[in-house]
Amino acid sequence: MRKKQLLFMIINMNVGGTEKALLNMLEQLPPENYNITLLMLEEYGGFMNQIPRHVTIEYVIDYPGMKELINKPLLHVALRSLKKWELGKFIKASSLYIGSKLLQDRTFLYQTILKDYPQTAKTYDIAVAYAGPMDFISYFVLKKIKAANKLQWVHFDITKIGFNCTFASKMYPYFDKIYAVSKQARNNLVHALPHLEEKTAVFYNLVSAQSVMNQSREGRGFSDPFEGIRILTIGRLSIEKGQDLAIRALDRLIQDGYKVKWYCVGEGSSRKELEKLIAEFDLQEHFILLGSNPNPYPYLAQCDLYVQPSRHEGYCITLNEARCLNKPIVTTDFNGAREQITDGSTGSIVAINEYEIYIAVKQLLDNPALRSNYIKNLANDAKRTATSGIAHKIIF
């Protein structure tokens, strides 16, 4: 039987939910059936060494030279180039800015930047714009990858991020299928782009419960001698992940006299702001930023409560991983939370604010029987197995 040729395109392999979901999918695609290529914009990330050996890794040539023009406001790039007397760059950025403004079309930018970039010599059976929605990757897969079928992934709640409806309305119809990672994420996408409804479907991020359990036994978890209740949150340090809400909720718990420590695994652009907030509430001994870790599962296995305080998600993979280890859970009511948790049975779902998080955590601290009930119900939760299917039997 001929192996199918698959290509996935992503930004890099930073430690994050999208990248972890991709790794889980790659692990479930049998190498005897597929030749897999991973096309990346950047050669770095904490998950680089976890890419399966049978996967061929390639990179977009000259992306570092394109990156600023793609990701930064073009007017700022032009003005900064002029100040530095980089006249060639100034002329290029200025013309791109003017053209994009006049045409009101993001595709003009990508078309111009990639004008001389060749199509792939190889033809694939399926090419996947996996880091979606990132417009550049969507455009690249459509215009520069030769493939019989092309798929677009949407990992986020498009109502909460800078989603370009004009670009998507123009380009997404050329994809054969568009996958959103939760029902609610799909509903939001269809509401914004109703003409694409028939092309869209839900594909939950894959999680292997066995892999989570195996990795939870590897490496070290908590090293401090704390004997109280350990609360854990995993996620990139950023405003959308809501660690600031967790800090404020913890302040209330400490003022109430609870013996708790709250730990965060993850790194990101909000570290300085979070450190400032921790100091403001004098929580340096109680709210611990552990940094990035490609294997957070020993911490997850050892914690007493797991809290996901996010302001928005697509489909929260760390929430699913906490379910795999049967942890009592408090989560905010973001996209897809109710597709994973049954409120009051397998966890607590609360509004997205620090007071609601505080009340739900306090309830679990005061009620060990409720924690035990959540653990028991999670162990029997059929929803957990719903995201552990074999990818190639579903879509490939």
Query: Which pLDDT value is given to residue 268?
Result: 93
Q: In the prediction, which pLDDT does 83 show? A: 67
Count the neighbouring beta carbons within 10 Å of the beta carbon of residue 246: 24
The pLDDT of residue 322 is: 96
- Show me where the domains of the chain are located: 4-61+117-203, 210-385
What dotted CATH number matches 4-61+117-203? 3.40.50.2000
* Helix 368-379 / helix 354-366 crossing angle, nearest 10 deg: 100
The total of other beta-carbon atoms located within 10 Å of residue 5's CB is: 17
Give all strands of the β-sheet with 4-10 in edge-to-edge order: 56-59, 34-40, 4-10, 123-129, 146-154, 177-180, 200-202
210-385 has which CATH code? 3.40.50.2000
Tell me which amino acid residue 323 is.
Answer: R
CA distance 358 to 186: 31
Cα torsion angle, 317, 318, 321, 322, sign? negative
| Conformational region of residue 343, where left means phi above 0, alpha means psi within -120 to 50, and beta covers everything else | beta
**Both tokens assigned to 16:** 């994050």
Positions of the chain with pLDDT under 70:
74-79, 81-85, 87-91, 93, 96-97, 99, 102-103, 382-396
> pTM of the predicted model, to two decimals?
0.88
What pLDDT shows up at residue 100? 72
Question: How high is the pLDDT of residue 91?
Answer: 65
Q: Do domains 4-61+117-203 and 210-385 have the same CATH topology?
A: yes
pLDDT of residue 388: 46
pLDDT on residue 55? 97
